[in-house]
Structure formats: structure tokens, C-alpha cells
Amino acid sequence: MERKNIRFLLQYDGSRYDGWQKQGNTENTIQGRLEQVLSRLTGEQAEVFGAGRTDAGVHALGQVANAHLATDMTEREILDYVNRYLPEDILALKADRVSERFHSRLNAVGKVYLYRIDMAEKSQVFQRRYIYTLGQTLDTEAMSQAAVYLTGTHDFRSFCAGRQVRKSTVRTVEEIAVSCEGTVVELRVRGDGFLYNMVRILAGTLIEVGLGKRTPESMTQILEAEEREAAGFTAPARGLFLAEVLY
């Protein structure tokens, strides 16, 4: 039986999960659920590699994962099998065969995240799990000005929730686009990689700029401080989506 490296494009609602990464204290993770299904498919323990470790409550429009599977099934048959047994809040959009050396995380050159904020006092019922209901008006022009200071290659230690960071905290943020439609403000963040909670802290900091609690120019001081306490609050997980992984 041939062993194939299969790449999956995944979509999921992270509301009821403890994040992407499999953990010893819980079986309720996206990676864990996918490994269970693939292990049933092959009859041996499957190992799934994801492009990014989304936190508890974070959603994905375009997560990428791969697994080496011993099976004679075609990619279409694998896709159909996976979707038959995955829960309804996880969907495999594609399954294709890639080279043996392909690794979802190690071969990625960047990611795109979306963060959604509702300025209305109450969000629509069917949106409330997928948006941060702020209930206050934001100055999106000021937020866009602040985003310029945060774009580029910087040490983003101030935007990392991890206390003990041993690896480099230098990252390149290529774009932070602020858009508004009706009462919904959307942040689109594209970069070569992101630290723990980085996008949510960027969102929280930009929200504080939008509320007039910080100036756009103060972003420079936050970056220079290299202290988590210098940046804004960590915006709730429910507003965040991993939109795309770049290769």
C-alpha cells in the first residue's frame, strides 16, 4: 500500500474547541478530531501537521494541514471520507497529494488573519460567535494611521502574551488594512509569522486607538518598550479568523 502526503485545506468554527493543537489534558481540539478520523481511515495512528496553532475559540477560513497516509484511496475518496466523519463545525474544503517533503508549517511563508469588530450595541444573533461586539464607535482613520507604524519588520515583543520568550520576536507585518462596512470594522493582517496572541493584541491596541485612548504615534513607543504591558488589551478570540496560509 502506497504512503501519500496529503494536504488539506480546512475551515472550522473554533467556538467549542480548545484550539488547534492536540493537548494531553483535552481531546477537544481540531488537530485531535482530524487525527481520529484519519486514524480510522488508515487503521494506524495518523499524525497531522498544521500550518498554525489557532487558540481556543479562534476560527479558520483557510487552515492548511498535512498528513502522511498509507491508503489506496484517491484524494477525492479521502476528502469524502474525512467530511463524512468530521463534526459539522469542521470542513475539509480540499485534499490533494503533495511531495513527501511538504510540511504545512515549515513551508509556509506567511499568513493572513482577519479580525472583526461590531460597533453596534448588540450583534446579530447569527454573527455573535464570529465577531467582537464592542458597542462603541471607532475612529477607523486613526486606526489606519496607527497601522502604518506597526507595518514592517519590528521586534513585536510588546505584542506577545508569552512571558518567557526564548526565540526571536522579530516579525515582518506586510499589511494591516482597516475597513468598515455598516457597523462592522474588519482588520486584515498579513505577515511572515505571528507570536502567541499577537494578532489579538494588535487588534486590542488598534481598538484603543479607535476609542481615542491612544494616539497613532504612540505605536512607536509601544514597539520600543518591548514589554507586554505597553500594548493594549488582548481582543477576544471569537473575532479572529485564520483566513489564508501563504506558500
Q: What is the CA angle 197-15-202, rounded to 5? A: 25
| Residue showing cell 486613526 | 142
Look at residue 1 in the predicted model and tell me its pLDDT.
80
Asked whether the CA dihedral 203, 245, 86, 20 is positive or negative, the reply is: negative
pLDDT per residue over 89-145, tens digit each? Answer: 999 999 999 999 999 999 999 999 999 999 999 988 888 899 999 999 999 999 999
Torsion of CA 31, 37, 40, 43, to 10 degrees: -40
Give the pairing of strands 59-70 and 240-246. Answer: parallel
Q: Does residue 212 carry a pLDDT above 70?
A: yes
Read off the pLDDT of each residue in 150-179 and give the average, rounded to a whole number. 92
Residue 126 has a pLDDT of 85
- Comparing 164 with 246, the larger pLDDT belongs to 246
Mean pLDDT across the stretch 30-57?
96
Name the band, by pLDDT with cuts 50, 70 and 90, for residue 162: confident
The residue whose grid cell reads 477560513 is 61
Told to judge if 80 belongs to the known catalytic residues of this protein, a careful annotator would answer: no
pLDDT of 3 reads 92
| Average pLDDT value for the chain | 96
pLDDT band at 209 (very low <50, low <70, confident <90, very high): very high
3-state secondary structure of 23: strand
* Residue 165: pLDDT band with limits 50, 70, 90: low
Domains in the chain with CATH codes: 3-98 (3.30.70.580), 110-246 (3.30.70.660)
CB atoms within 10 A of CB 110: 16
Alpha-carbon distances of 150 from 55, 121, 183, 221, rounded to whole Å:
23, 29, 24, 11
Could you write out the DSSP letters of every residue in 187-222? Answer: EEEEES---TTHHHHHHHHHHHHHTTSS-TTHHHHH
What is d(CA 46, CA 88) in angstroms, rounded to the nearest whole number?
21
Which cell numbers in the block locate residue 33? 478530531
Choose, from 13, 18, 55, 118, the residue flagged as catalytic.
55
Is the CB of residue 108 less than 8 Å from the CB of residue 66?
Answer: no
Mean pLDDT, residues 167-193 taken together: 96
Tell me: pLDDT of 40 over 90.
Answer: yes
